[in-house]
Amino acid sequence: MPQQFGAFTASELYCPKCKQSQPVRERLLLVLPSGELHEYLCARCATSLGEREVTGPAVRAAAAQAGPAKKAARRLLR
């Protein structure tokens, strides 16, 4: 069963390469009409641990026109 991190900002995620939870670095992956897609990288080995769609005040107005933007990216690579 996939884990979901949509409700909070992850500061640590399990890294399969390090075989333990690691602090993550957040990286801007790409900019979407509804927000920004951020990627979580293991702070030690830079393996991609997951991604998250971030909607902020600046993009909320545009997102309201484009429809529900609350669908955060919950696909996590493991």
Kindly list the residues in this chain that would bind Zn ion in the complex (CB under 5 A).
15, 17-18, 22, 42, 44-45, 47
- Please state the closest distance from residue 41 (CB atom) to Zn ion, in A: 9
Please give the Cα distance from 61 to 76 (Å, whole number).
Answer: 27
Name the 3-class secondary structure at 16.
coil
Which whole-number Å values give the CA distances from 46 to 28, 42, 70, in the listed order? 14, 5, 27
| CB closer to Zn ion out of 15 and 59 | 15
| CB closer to Zn ion out of 48 and 55 | 48
| CB closer to Zn ion out of 21 and 71 | 21
